[in-house]
């Protein structure tokens, strides 16, 4: 079963998932702190390069299957034109101001 984006608990995570699925790079970046960091399968990556390659130039799409930790941890089916579809885990760190300062993803 998929959780509709509008039903995700955390507002910042909900907006980020919506930005990914809309292909809206500007909205995505607007949700991050200026010094946001990320990792993929345990390795830190350059945020700008990673999102261009894995999300926006390859038409990434995320279907959330479950959430935990107040909406800061997701398990989702993620697909893009490079890798196809895979089950992924996502974890977010959200500041008091509602911006995402770090996200981690990898295969679930």
Give residue 45's domain range.
5-107
- For residues 27 and 92, is the Cβ–Cβ distance under 8 A? no
Task: Dump the DSSP string for 34-88.
Answer: EEEEEEETTEEE-HHHHHIIIIITTT-EEEEEEEEGGGTEEEEEEEETTTEEEEE
The pLDDT value recorded for residue 67 is: 98
CATH at residue 103? 3.10.450.50
The pLDDT value recorded for residue 1 is: 87
The pLDDT value recorded for residue 64 is: 98
pLDDT band at 55 (very low <50, low <70, confident <90, very high): very high
- For residues 52 and 61, is the Cβ–Cβ distance under 8 A? no
The pLDDT value recorded for residue 76 is: 98
pTM: 0.96
State pLDDT tens for residues 61-86: 999 999 999 999 999 999 999 999 99
Domain count, the chain: 1
Model confidence at 95: pLDDT above 90: yes
Q: How far apart are CA 15 and CA 20, in angstroms?
A: 9
The pLDDT value recorded for residue 24 is: 98
Q: How far apart are CA 44 and CA 1, in angstroms?
A: 31
> What average pLDDT score do residues 19-39 get?
98
């Amino acid at each position: 079963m998929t959780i509709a984006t509008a039903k995700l608990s955390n507002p910042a995570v909900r907006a980020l998932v919506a930005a990914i699925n809309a292909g809206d790079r500007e909205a995505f970046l607007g949700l991050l702190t200026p010094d946001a960091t990320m990792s993929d399968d345990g390795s830190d990556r350059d945020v700008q390069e990673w999102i261009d390659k894995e999300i926006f130039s390859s038409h990434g799409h995320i279907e959330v299957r479950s959430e935990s930790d107040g909406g800061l941890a997701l398990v989702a089916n993620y697909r893009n034109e490079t890798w196809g579809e895979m089950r992924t885990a996502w974890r977010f760190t959200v500041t008091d101001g509602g911006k995402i300062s770090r996200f981690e993803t990898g295969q679930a």
